[in-house]
Amino acid sequence: MAVRAVGDYDFPSRSRQELYGDDQLVHLWWRNNMWFCAAACFRAPKAMTWGDFRAGMVDPLFSCDPDFGPRTRFEWSVDDQPVTRADSQTLAELGVGHKSLIACRSLG
Amino acid sequence: MTATPRKLSMKQRYAALTRDLDWDLSYVDPAEAFPYTTFEGITVHDWSQWEDPFRLTIDAYTKYQAEKDKRLYAVLDSFAQSQGHLQLADPRYLNAMKLFLQGVTPLEYAAHRNFAFLARFLNGPGPRFAALCQCEDEIRHAQTEIHTLSNYNKYYGGMHNWHAQHDRVWYLSVPKSYFDDALSAGPFEFLIAIGFSFEYLLTNLLFVPFMSGASFNGDLPTMTFGFSAQSDESRHMTLGLEAIKFLLEQDAGNVPIIQDWIDKWFWRGYRVTSLVAQMLDYMLPRKVMSWKEAFELYFEQQMLGGLFPDLSYYGIKPPRHVSQAMAEKDVLSHQVYWTLYQFSFAAAFTTTIPDEEHLDWLSAQYPDTFDRYYRPLWDKARRVVDSGGRFFYQGLPQLCQVCQIPMLFSEPGDPAMLCQRHSVYRGERYDFCSDGCQWIFDREPEKYVQAWLPVHQIYQGDCGGPTVPDVLAWYGLAEGDSGEYEGSVEQADWKRWHASPAERS
């Protein structure tokens, strides 16, 4: 159903990708860890490599959990599709789009 | 010999001073004078069927309100002169009042604007006059709340910039966007959204906890304000009920439209009450009741048990998604305060780890969930503090496109798993915290794609700059407003004010 309005009602999204230039919003969710109250939202370049995303965004956030360390192992998914990460691949190559959900589950 | 002046009965006075002042339009098309009461699909056959249960006239109204104001301001004066703020149970209590001033007072102001609109644009003189009185109430509440809490602003942080913060700060976009959603709807949807769902269905869950919290924690001014507003609020409840019954009785075609609005506005309002849930369970140093008890009493018993059986006569069912709200009562407050705890570096209040006695109270109130899911988190947060740290979330959270709350809510039936929903509209993805918010988006996506989501706006550079200090400066947060309570400016002040002469020297 559509909005009932007194006149024409058509407005653009206030979060559309073009407002972020060559970047996009991405969400990061550690599924099986209640320490973080919610998934995070980052602004990341589409051309950012997975390795840079891990080092520059994932690790600083996850380090707020005292039980996280370099030996923590994860399995990853992008929008519910499993990914085998390759540090040199870009987010775009891994299928990450605007507001995609990058999720992980820690193992062991 | 002079004639005895005729004295009118109350009923005659009401008629003379309200409905008799109305006239039939003869040289302007009524559709032109009242252009907003047809586009929503609501049919009203006879506006004169509106019953005003109070038969209030403007002279009686102003007389009552002036008397109430006099009493309130007398209390405020004596409180200020006697340093009454030192009688609070604990300064942490004021976190609840900061939230009230930042989050609720601006809604009173917004409500007055839209009731002024209704007082002009509803076709019938009865509902127009009722809207006029409620408009006056709402502006009076906004003013008296500001004056009441200004007594604390002299001594405590977090209250000096509430008005700008309401338009800017991430957690205040929750009540603001809720009310903006209602203000930008048509007049009948507004009546169901605010007049009925907010002022009737959820009002006891919203206001009673704040006012009881004031009473239990030594806040005499807010308690007095509560009494001063109480008779207005009960009038608003009656009017909200009158509005829905009037619309349901006017035309059978109105029923499915109103059911849809109840479904939407119950969930919108319920999500706003999450802030009340954490306030009751975590912010009040002296407890009134748990959120779970408040929800069971004020919503399940009074509304589902009392109101909805009456409304079923008209074919109205309990709100869609109500069972999910009921299922959340064991987890809601814990999830919300855990979020505020890790984001209070960007809030105009402080948070802290509940002490042992408080944790035990929570365990007792929530035997099915607290020890299993939430106490371990607080124990871990305590270990971080004991090793010299303080856990703050190093980043920004994913927000729900509809309620604008960080997506902190769990899957129904599984407190350990966050709920993630999304819809795609015109090729863009939108995220939601719950089935309720997703359902609201899917029925009017054109509306919610415009949401001013604080996190997205920060990333677009619209909130003062790219760094956290830039954003906090744009929020108008000053030293002592935010973060951890232990070691805060407020805690230090309180200790100093209560120190014995020996301790001071």
Judge whether A54 lies within some domain: yes
Domain that holds residue B308: 28-491
pLDDT score of B8: 86
How far apart (Å, rounded) are the C-alpha atoms in residues B405 and B340? 11
Residue A51 reports pLDDT greater than 70: yes
Give Cα separations from B79 to B98, B212, B219, B312, B332 (angstroms).
18, 19, 10, 48, 35
pLDDT score of B505: 66
pLDDT score of B1: 56
Judge whether B101 lies within some domain: yes
- A35: nearest CA partner in chain B: B377
Domains: count for chain A: 1
pLDDT score of A1: 63
The answer to whether A61 contacts B393, with C-beta atoms less than 8 Å apart, is yes
Greatest Cα pair distance in chain A: 59
pLDDT score of B207: 85
Helix (H) or strand (E) holding B377: helix B375-386
pLDDT score of B298: 95
Judge whether A99 lies within some domain: yes
Mutate one of A41, A42, A65 to test the B interface: name it (highest B CB count within 10 A).
A41
Give the strand pairing for A23-30 and A100-106. parallel
The single residue listed with the structure tokens 């020890």 is B371
Mutate one of B260, B459, B468, B471 to test the A interface: name it (highest A CB count within 10 A).
B459
- A1: nearest CA partner in chain B: B443
Convert the pLDDT of each residue in B175-233 to its tens digit. 999 999 999 999 999 999 999 999 999 988 988 899 999 999 999 999 999 988 988 88
Q: Which residues of B touch A40 (CB under 8 A)?
A: 393, 395-398
Judge whether A96 lies within some domain: yes
Distance (Å) from the alpha carbon of A89 to chain B's nearest alpha carbon: 23
In our burial notation (b when 16+ CB lie closer than 10 A, e otherwise), range B434-467 reads bebbbbbbeebbebbbebbbbbbbbbbeebbeee
The answer to whether A14 contacts B397, with C-beta atoms less than 8 Å apart, is no
Mutate one of B259, B338, B398 to test the A interface: name it (highest A CB count within 10 A).
B398
The answer to whether A15 contacts B36, with C-beta atoms less than 8 Å apart, is no
Judge whether B235 lies within some domain: yes
Of B338, B407, B449, the CB nearest to A11: B449
Domain that holds residue A41: 20-106
Mean pLDDT by runs of 10 across the 505 residues of chain B is 74 85 91 96 94 82 94 96 95 97 96 97 92 94 96 96 97 98 97 94 89 95 92 88 95 98 98 96 97 97 95 97 97 98 98 98 98 98 98 97 98 97 98 98 98 98 94 95 97 95 77
Judge whether B15 lies within some domain: no
Question: Are B85 and B205 contacting, i.e. CB atoms less than 8 angstroms apart?
Answer: no
Query: Given CA atoms A24, B450, B393, B471 in this order, what sign does their dihedral have?
Result: positive
How far apart (Å, rounded) are the C-alpha atoms in residues A72 and B70? 64
Of the candidate ranges A58-67, A68-77, B56-65, the one whose mean pLDDT is the lowest: B56-65
**What CATH number did the domain enclosing A62 receive?**
3.10.20.560
Judge whether B503 lies within some domain: no
Of A35, A38, A99, the CB nearest to B377: A35
Judge whether A5 lies within some domain: no
Q: What percent of chain A has pLDDT over 90?
A: 92
Q: Is the pTM of this model over 0.90?
A: yes
How far apart (Å, rounded) are the C-alpha atoms in residues B199 and B194? 6
Judge whether A32 lies within some domain: yes
Judge whether B19 lies within some domain: no
**What CATH number did the domain enclosing B342 receive?**
1.10.620.20
Judge whether B14 lies within some domain: no
Judge whether B12 lies within some domain: no
How far apart (Å, rounded) are the C-alpha atoms in residues B106 and A69? 45
Domains: count for chain B: 1
Of A11, A31, A60, the CB nearest to B394: A60
CA atoms within 13 A on the CB side of A52: 10
ipTM value = 0.98
The answer to whether B459 contacts A64, with C-beta atoms less than 8 Å apart, is no
How far apart (Å, rounded) are the C-alpha atoms in residues B400 and B434? 9
Judge whether A4 lies within some domain: no
Judge whether B118 lies within some domain: yes
Please give the structure tokens belonging to residue B349: 């209040």
Give Cα separations from A13 to B127, B366, B399, B445, B448 (angstroms).
37, 41, 15, 10, 8
Which of A33, A42, A39 has the alpha carbon at shortest distance from A68?
Answer: A33
Those residues with Cβ within 8 angstroms of residue B303's Cβ, 6 or more apart along the chain or in another chain: B201
